[in-house]
Homo-oligomer: A and B are copies of this chain.
Amino acid sequence: MNVAIVGASGAVGQEFLQVLSDTKFPIDTIRLFGSQRSCGRTYSFNGQEIKVELLDSESDFSGIDFAFVSAGASVSREYAEVITRHGAVMIDNSSAFRMDADVPLVVPEVNPEDAFNAPRGIIANPNCTTIQMVVSLKPIDRLSRIRRVHVATYQAASGAGASAMDELVDQHAALSKGESAHVEKFAHQLAYNVIPHIDVFTDNGYTREEMKMHHETKKIMHAPDLEVSATCVRVPVMRAHSEAIWVETERPLTVDEVRSAFATAPGIELIDSPAEKQYPMPLHAAGTDPVFVGRIRQDIANPNGISFWSVSDQIRKGAALNAVQIALYMINNPR
Q: Is the contact region of chain A dominated by helix, strand, or loop, or is it mixed?
A: mixed
**Residue of B whose beta carbon sits closest to that of A300:** B229
A168-224 contacts to B (CB < 8 Å): 169, 172-173, 175-176, 187-189, 192-197, 201, 204-207, 214
Q: State how many residues of chain A have any CB contact under 8 Å with chain B.
A: 58
Could you say which of B154, B294, B309 contacts A235, with CB atoms under 8 Å apart? Answer: B154
- Interface membership of chain A positions 138-165, coded 1 if the CB is closer than 8 angstroms to chain B and 0 otherwise: 0000000000111010100000000000
A217-248 contacts to B (CB < 8 Å): 227-229, 231, 233, 235-238, 242, 244, 246
CA distance A236 to B242 in the complex (A): 14
> How many whole Å from A227's CB to the nearest CB in chain B?
4
When A196-B309, A283-B193 are in contact, do A300 and B235 touch as well, CB less than 8 Å? no
Contact B206 A300 (CB under 8 A): yes
Could you say which of B169, B175, B194, B238 contacts A242, with CB atoms under 8 Å apart? Answer: B194
When A150-B301, A176-B173, A205-B255 are in contact, do A244 and B196 touch as well, CB less than 8 Å? yes
Q: How many copies does the complex hold?
A: 2
> How many whole Å from A283's CB to the nearest CB in chain B?
4
- Interface membership of chain A positions 257-278, coded 1 if the CB is closer than 8 angstroms to chain B and 0 otherwise: 0000000000000000011010
Q: Is A302 an interface residue (CB 8 A)?
A: yes
Could you say which of B196, B229, B294, B298 contacts A246, with CB atoms under 8 Å apart? Answer: B229
Contact A309 B187 (CB under 8 A): no
**Residue of B whose beta carbon sits closest to that of A231:** B244
Q: Is A64 an interface residue (CB 8 A)?
A: no
CA distance A319 to B296 in the complex (A): 30
Contacts of A172 in B (CB 8 A): 172, 175-176
Contact B196 A242 (CB under 8 A): yes
CA distance A296 to B51 in the complex (A): 49
Contact A228 B301 (CB under 8 A): yes
- 13 contacting pairs across A/B (C-beta < 8 A): A150-B246, A154-B194, A173-B176, A176-B176, A192-B237, A196-B294, A204-B297, A204-B298, A204-B300, A229-B301, A229-B305, A231-B309, A235-B235
Closest 4 CB pairs of A and B: A205-B297, A152-B152, A227-B301, A229-B301
